[in-house]
Structure 1
Amino acid sequence: MDKYIDSHIHLDKYTDEEIEEMFDCLPFQLSLVTVSCDIASSKRNLALSKIYPFVKPAFGFHPEQDLPSDHDISELISWMNLHLDHMAAVGEVGLPYYLRSDGGIQLGGYIELLEEFIKLAKKWNKPIALHSVYDDAQTVCDLLEKHSIQKAHFHWFKGDSAAVSRMIANDYYISFTPDIVYEKEIQNLVRDYPLDKMMAETDGPWAFEGPFKNKPTHPAMMAHSISTLAEIKHTAFDSVLRQLHDNSKSFYNID
């Protein structure tokens, strides 16, 4: 049976019924890393991991929202510290690119918060799952290099060649979503990124276009995504699937 790892999904955003349907009669062996947006999200992901052993939860604060209060962030970090044994990674954390496009958002507080999570990832010896695209990637690389972080995962990455070259030099990982099937920007990016530093993801329940339009986002969509990557890399599908699985398994310490 084929083995898939969804390296970045928001499982907590699905209903219990949707999750049961998702996992019912899967035609492949699945593991997944479910990232969190805040403490409530982290708690639900932890609870789901206790129901489904193949669900690996990451805990953090998603940057595309208002900054938390000092009390809220202290509560989250204290809670994370209590659940280190169940935490696959620190994440999803990063910088607010899309929120900032509306104007009026100052980056300073977000950079400080991200650096705190980076320091915790190093202290706890955990991988870090990052929300960082375009120009923000250079700022995040500065922080990762400052703290000598090695296991960094830039999910659904989009950026210029300078950022890509720097990330490759640092052995940072990226992952691609089903939009690789129809987005030239993503196809061009993965063409040059080393296969041994890549993972597949869905970022569900985020909805996609192209052949996935009006379809609920499901880990099964990764088969189409990986097939597209195999064509781009001129490599057999089975070899690419195996490499991506091994990358994700090693990066996230999945049994």
Structure 2
Amino acid sequence: MNHSIIDAHIHFDLYCEEERAIILRDMEKYKIKAFISVSQHLSSAKANLKLSQEDHRIRPAFGFHPEQALPTEIDLAELQLFLDKYHSHMAAVGEVGLPYYLRKKEPSIPIEPYIELLEQFIQQAAALNKPIVLHAINEDAPIVCTLLEKYSITKAHFHWFKGDQKTMEQMTSNGYFVSITPDVLYEQKTQQLVKQYPLSHMMVETDGPWPFEGPFKKKMTHPQMIHHAIEKIAFIKKMKAQEVYDRLYENTKQFYFN
């Protein structure tokens, strides 16, 4: 584990204080240079901003996670003002997207208001010239791609992408990025994504504190798990680990830090 990594997607504010201290303490040991901490809503965005001000290795993204009830007009306006005010501190707009799992649980929930909400965040990302971090699962992904194309968004990051071959080809053609989680060690669909998607448009993430199975079962999700994911990516791609480490690190730097 002598190679530098960046966790491209983590919910750092959702860890308890003790867990956050462990991760920050371990960063130098595991060569974790930085991570992108995405937000759930306004209070989450404020928490991530504060954390980033306390430690420069934390890069915050501000947004509204779609797997929850829609914000009120007042809440949305306050969040959008927050993005405008602190855009210079913000690595990206995110996490935003469409409520796939929420609608699976409650099929009566209409998708149209969530599409309208996402479109507003896409417009704001375009206006602020910021990347956008997306939660777009299976049949929701083509809808999101169409919205991105409408506003000529090129710096789009589909975290933990799950979708069909046609959508994957559309995303590749548009130059969108995906990020791979530690489930690549045991999930065939993730392994297939790694096999097919170009390394030039790939990053790595944990989505922590989301828990994993396989060798990570009952373990706190920690950015150091990315090292295991990268070794698996190198194996799937039939490449030297050093080359994969270097490419993923540069991809993330160029996407979020330039």
Normalising TM by the smaller chain, what interval?
Answer: over 0.9
Bigger mean CA deviation after superposition, 202-211 or 184-193: 184-193
Matched, 1:199 2:203: yes
**Offset at 1:66?**
0.4
Aligned residues: 254
**Offset at 1:2?**
2.1
Partner of 1:122: 126
C-alpha offsets along residues 137-175 of structure 1, whole Å, 9 cap, x if unaligned? 100010000000010000000111000000000000000
1:15 and 1:47 map into 2 onto residues whose CA distance is: 15
Partner of 1:61: 64
Write the mapping of 1:41-80 to structure 2, written as runs, cut at 5 A. 41-80=44-83
Partner of 1:187: 191
**Offset at 1:222?**
0.2
1:27 and 1:149 map into 2 onto residues whose CA distance is: 34
Partner of 1:8: 9
2:84 and 2:202 map into 1 onto residues whose CA distance is: 28
1:42 and 1:207 map into 2 onto residues whose CA distance is: 22
Relative distance call for 1:37 and 1:153 in structure 2 (3 A) is: same
Q: What CA RMSD, in Å, does the superposition of the two structures yield over aligned residues?
A: 0.9
**What SS does the aligned partner of 1:164 have?**
helix
**Offset at 1:247?**
0.3
Write the mapping of 1:138-177 to structure 2, written as runs, cut at 5 A. 138-177=142-181
Kept after mapping to 1: 8 A contact 2:7/2:32: no
1:226 to 212, 216, 230: 230
Gaps of 5+ in 2: none
How high is the TM-score relative to the length of structure 2?
Answer: 0.97
C-alpha offsets along residues 187-246 of structure 1, whole Å, 9 cap, x if unaligned? 011101000100000000000000000000000000010110000000011110110000
**Offset at 1:124?**
0.1
Kept after mapping to 1: 8 A contact 2:234/2:240: yes
How high is the TM-score relative to the length of structure 1?
Answer: 0.98
**Offset at 1:90?**
0.1
Partner of 1:21: 22
1:223 and 1:253 map into 2 onto residues whose CA distance is: 21
1:141 and 1:80 map into 2 onto residues whose CA distance is: 23
Kept after mapping to 1: 8 A contact 2:204/2:248: yes
Partner of 1:93: 96
